[in-house]
Structure 1
Amino acid sequence: MAISNVIDGLVSLPTGQLVALMLFLGPALYLLKIVYNLTLHPLRSFPGPILARGTFWPMIKHTTDGTAQHWITALHQKYGNVVRISPGELSFAGGGAFKDIYGYRKGGQPAFVKSPKFYSVPAGDEFAHVPDIIRATPEDHSRIRRIFSNAFSDRALKQQEPLFLTYVDLLVQRLRNVAAAAKAGKADARVNMVTMYNFTTFDIMGDLTFGEPLNLLRDNEYHPWVANMFASFRFGAYLMAMRYVPYVEPLLVRCMPASIDEKRRQHGRFSSERVDRRLAKTDARPDIWGLVLAENKDGTGPTLPLKEMYTNANLFMIAGTETTATLLSGLTYHLLRNPPALARLVAEIRTAFPVEADISIERLQHLKYLHACIEEGLRMFPPVSNGLPRIVPVGGAAVDGVWVPGGAAVMVTHLAAYRNEGNFRNAGVFAPERWLSGEEGGGGAYAHDMRAALQPFSLGPRVCLGKNMAYHEIRIILSKVLWNFDLELCPESENWADQKIFIMWDKGPLWCRAIPVR
């Protein structure tokens, strides 16, 4: 009754007085909220910049200008392994936090659930309520994962090896064509390896997912659908930032220009139409859908609703392409900036395979230095650099030895963890030998590195389904390129790794010269 009397009194005020009161109350209430965040909030004892502990504005600012992960990494270097990056969020950089946040929970302890703020799709999306393997509830995730597990098994990957080789060999031919044209004085000798790796991974995944390539390597240009996908990353970062402000996201989506909204719808239609065409084929190809359908050929196995096929196909085309190309680009850059490491890797590959035809998925798994270089590439230039937020269960939980109240959002920021000297000695140095043992590993110089602090594919029940495929694809692409070419970094790309991050790295051209090896 008292509240209704207050409301009645406010409504009866003259308009001028009511507006003046609201102009006063708004800032006053916001100031009180800041004071609460700094002095009474359950996370008040965790360190961090005062503005970040009190407001969301630093996170909004750094997310929209592409510096959030670099900012968080710098905060960890100043404040330690746990930092309060916004009123309700904690970032961890210690190696033990991965297992506590993302790993399996023992003894029936409740899991850390995914943060809706980070994982929900934009309001109004026609597939907003259709689960995919990333956004699904734990129950739906288990069901979907069981259906796709056969398509991503080692047995399936060996079946798909000829498909991989088709496009990797096409990449090699494309690089040879550039070198030949340059030698004849008909073209620039430089080649943008970011573009070449993107063309290759998208062609491979397009064929695996839809049964048809995007023909990027053939046409030597981006398909409009792929170009739109890259453009959407920056909009996604803006959308993520706006979720820190209540009620702004629906307004942002409603004010979205019609051209951007149409591109978003075209993106969904592109995947849906190609899934429909693939399902209409009757050949027994060992691509993703062929293997999924083979599991249910007698009609008694698990099935996937059509709309879930659409959403997961769309996801595979993002998660299985840009991330792999990013790692290949970053690893190539760091190898070219470290000639001794490059020379050692090239020698290992060319010695192991006197004949190019001997290069295979199975045999590449035995190259120790190649594996060490890939691990170090994942550490120095992680395709997923940001943290993946989880919500601490009711009652709280320990994370890397620190008790965190229930309801808080927690994450391990990959870039910060991989640059943490407490996890990796000389963390800013590209040193593949840290992943080797004994004398091969630098005489024990890196013996105390916390290798468990490198989790680029996450871990636990949500570990990346395509992890094995990514390793196989990275090995065979990089090995084929280095077997056939001596690569040189062009001067204009000396500082290539100094990039902003809008969900994904905002990669500029990685200009190299690819000199064919006789």
Structure 2
Amino acid sequence: MASWVVSKVSTSGLVDHVVSNPKQLAITALTAIFGYVVVICIYRVYFHPLAKYPGPFFAKVTSLYDFYQAWSEHRAHNVLALHRKYGPIVRYAPSKLAFSEPQAWNDIYAYKANVRKSDLFAASQTSTETDTFSELYKEPALKKRKVLSYGFSENSLRSFEAYMLDQINIFCHQLVSPSTEKVKDMSLWFNYLSYDIMGELVFGKGFGMLTDPSLRYILDLIDSTVFSYLLGGIIPWLHKSGIMTLLQPRMYADRMKFVAESTKRIVERIQLGPKAVGVNNRKDFFHHLLNGVDENGNPLSTERLGAEGVLLILAGSDTSSASLAGTLFYLMQQPTCLKRLREELDSTFASIDDIRLGNPLTGCVYLRACVDEALRMASAGPGISERTVLKGGTVVDGEFFPEGTTMGAGGWASSYNQKYIRDCDRFWPERHIPGEVMSQEEIQLARSAYWPFGMGARKCVGMKVALNELHLTIARMVYLFEFTPAKPEEFKKNFEILDHQNPKKYGPYVTFSLRQGRKLPDMKPTELQEE
């Protein structure tokens, strides 16, 4: 009994001593924190379920490694470098793995895969309701996606072609207009075009970026918004606690401003009602949303309409502009490719107005090969589309992974997979044409390694719109214009894309002039032509 009393008194005295001595208290606290960190590091390096997979030391012990790579804008490039150093499976965060083998794409993204989207995507939720993109679970997402699919149906896309061409025609006029700058940063101009096309598709009228410079500030807002989604999603508590807002106040102010601007445009369209809009009663995307119902058979709520509208603005335009900029860049970098494409178009079309969807455009084999190669090399989705394993675990590339593991295949890493894609750093459209430089088997093997529009249940719903825009724009530009590089030195290396979740890019810097015998297309809008 006495010994117990002495022990208690001694312990109490020790506590009183520590509390009354701030220096000792600080040392004790730091020692405890250091000990905790050491224990966590030892566990994550040696005893974690993913301990056997290679990767940088700091990636194994803290998500701050992944956060830093994202902050530096080279997250996708870093994943490629890790694969080239460590192999087909790399650990890029304590509970995250990146894969580069083609089989992994099927195992992770197929319809039956036992996974959901990772918590990274929750950071992109802009409303009290999730949209198709921020919905983490597959079944609810498929139901939400069904509503969107009406706007991307074959009938909708056919009726939309004329309005897409209206914007492409404006774009072509602006490239040689004396009222615009002579040297053009084509990443910006392709952004203007893509956003105006999305405005036509979603709201029934373009945003006006091609012709009104005062509206172009929204591009910076969009980039900040998407980048904030990525940073906030990697370490969710930084986003939820408000720390990220303190670290990047301008980025988050831009995000709020973008949501406000988008909401204003969406509310204006909702007020027009569910009827078709315009002189010709055209059915824009919001026509389908306003006439759609949710999974319970009820009209879509205002919150849901707003969320889907913001998603369409964000996802449907910047990605197309990256592939357009990449295609133009590589055609200018490789004059023999540009020459062959120009000869194909010149021999196929008698005038600019003949370049439309369907035949004979679909028969332009080299055009399609150039676009396919640019989609590979200038990936619109350079990063990892993360998935988290659900209860029961899953098997990827022959190995079992437990519940809670986050995994994915990197778009950039897959597109530059040396094992499956010969001369992967070279722009080589011929690789997509069977029998020219590769057999059909080699082509299929290479294509199994990368998926520029994703695959499975969450495959890009707007893929056909993007491809239509790419083929029409590139064909009309190459047919009409001579391209003169304003910064020849930029073509000494490959086109650079920074990873902001959506691609961030600059250039190519080009001056344009009409080819001999060519004239610009008619600028009269489709609606006025059909009155």
TM value normalised by structure 2: 0.85
Which residue identity does 2:19 align to in structure 1? P
Q: CA deviation at 1:351?
A: 1.8
Q: Which amino acid aligns with 1:60?
A: F
Are the aligned partners of 2:103 and 2:397 in contact in 1 as well (CA < 8 Å)? yes
Q: CA deviation at 1:505?
A: 3.2
Aligned to 1:285: 282
Give, in angstroms, the shift of residue 422 of structure 1: 1.4
Corresponding residue for residue 505 of structure 2:
507
Runs of 5+ consecutive residues of structure 2 not aligned to the other structure: 1-7, 518-531
Match of 1:134 in 2: 133
CA distance in 1, matches of 2:433, 2:267: 46
Which residue of structure 2 aligns with residue 303 of structure 1?
A: 299
Q: Which of the numbers 423, 426, 430 marks the counterpart of 2:423?
A: 426
Could you tell me how far apart the structure 2 residues matched to 1:443 and 1:264 are? 48
Q: SS in structure 2 opposite 1:354?
A: coil
Which of 115, 123, 129 is equivalent to 1:121? 123
Would the aligned equivalents of 1:59 and 1:241 in 2 still touch at CA under 8 Å? yes
Structure 1 contact 206–212 (Cα < 8 Å) conserved:
yes
Per the alignment, residue 526 of structure 2 pairs with: none
The counterpart of 1:344, out of the listed 340, 348, 361, is 340
CA–CA separation in structure 1 for the residues paired with 2:41 and 2:326: 40
1:46-65 to 2 correspondence within 5 Å?
Answer: 46-65=53-72
Paired position in structure 1 for 2:520: none
Deviations 1:178-237 (A, max 9, x none): 5xx7xxxxx864222112211111111112222332111112454333331123344444
What does residue range 116-515 of structure 1 map to in structure 2 within 5 Å?
A: 116=119, 118-121=120-123, 127=127, 129-136=128-135, 137-178=137-178, 189-220=182-213, 222-243=215-236, 246=237, 249-253=240-244, 255=246, 261-281=252-272, 282=275, 283=277, 284-293=281-290, 303-363=299-359, 364-438=361-435, 440-442=436-438, 446-447=442-443, 449-490=445-486, 491-494=488-491, 495=493, 497-515=495-513
Moved more, 367-376 or 152-161: 367-376
Assess if the C-alpha contact under 8 Å between 1:38 and 1:54 holds in 2.
yes
The range that moved more, 142-151 or 498-507, is 498-507
Distance 2:494 2:182 in 1: 19
Q: CA deviation at 1:330?
A: 1.0
Structure 1 stretch displaced more, 263-272 or 453-462: 263-272
In structure 2, relative to structure 1, the CA distance for the partners of 1:48 and 1:325 (3 Å cut) is same
SS in 2 for 1:450: helix
SS across alignment from 2:505: coil
**Residue 68 of structure 1: how far off its partner (Å):** 1.7
- Residue identity matched to 1:435: H
CA contact (8 A) 2:330 2:374 kept: yes
C-alpha distance in 2 between matches for 1:24 and 1:377: 54
Deviations 1:371-396 (A, max 9, x none): 21111111111011001111123333
C-alpha distance in 2 between matches for 1:414 and 1:223: 28
CA, structure 1 residues 351+302, in 2 after alignment: closer, same or farther (shift >3 Å)?
Answer: farther
SS in 2 for 1:255: helix
AA aligned to 1:63 is A
Q: What's 1:14 paired with? A: 19
**Could you list the runs of 5+ residues in structure 1 that have no partner in the other structure?**
182-186
Moved more, 392-401 or 474-483: 392-401
Deviates more, 1:323-332 or 1:191-200: 191-200
In 2, the alpha carbon distance for the partners of 1:254 and 1:228 equals 15
The verdict on how the C-alpha distance between 1:103 and 1:257 changes in structure 2, with shifts beyond 3 A counting, is closer
The CA deviation string for residues 414-452 of structure 1, in whole angstroms up to 9 with x for no partner, is: 1111111112111111111111112x3456794574312
Distance 1:247 1:171, change over 3 A: closer
Identical amino acids, percent of aligned pairs: 24
Measured against aligned partners, the alpha-carbon deviations of 1:239-293 in whole angstroms (never above 9, x if no partner) come to 34544xx557413156377765554333222222222222333433221122444
Letter paired with 1:228: L
In the superposition, the TM-score normalised over structure 1's length comes to 0.87
| 1: CA distance, partners of 2:216 / 2:15 | 57
Cα distance, 1:36–1:360 mapped onto 2, change above 3 Å: same
SS of residue in 1 equivalent to 2:384: coil
Distance (Å, rounded) in 2 between the aligned partners of 1:358 and 1:302: 44
Tell me the CA shift for residue 53 of structure 1: 2.1
Compared with structure 1, are the counterparts of its residues 69 and 258 closer, same or farther at alpha carbon in structure 2 (3 Å cutoff)? closer
The residue type equivalent to 2:80 in the other structure is T
Q: CA deviation at 1:295?
A: 6.1
Q: Which amino acid aligns with 2:130?
A: P
CA contact 1:417–1:423 (8 Å) conserved in 2: no
Contact 1:43 1:405 in 2 (8 A): no
Residues 220 and 345 of structure 1, relative CA distance in 2, 3 Å threshold = farther
The amino acid that maps onto 2:156 is A
Q: Is the 8 A contact 1:334 1:377 kept in 2?
A: yes
- Give me the CA root mean square deviation: 2.7
CA distance 1:334–1:446, shift in 2 (3 Å): farther
CA contact (8 A) 2:150 2:288 kept: yes
Distance in 2 (alpha carbons) for counterparts of 1:28 and 1:316: 48
After superposition, the Cα gap between the structure-2 partners of 1:41 and 1:256, relative to the gap in structure 1 and judged at 3 Å, is: closer
Distance 1:401 1:161 in 2: 45
Contact 1:95 1:450 in 2 (8 A): no
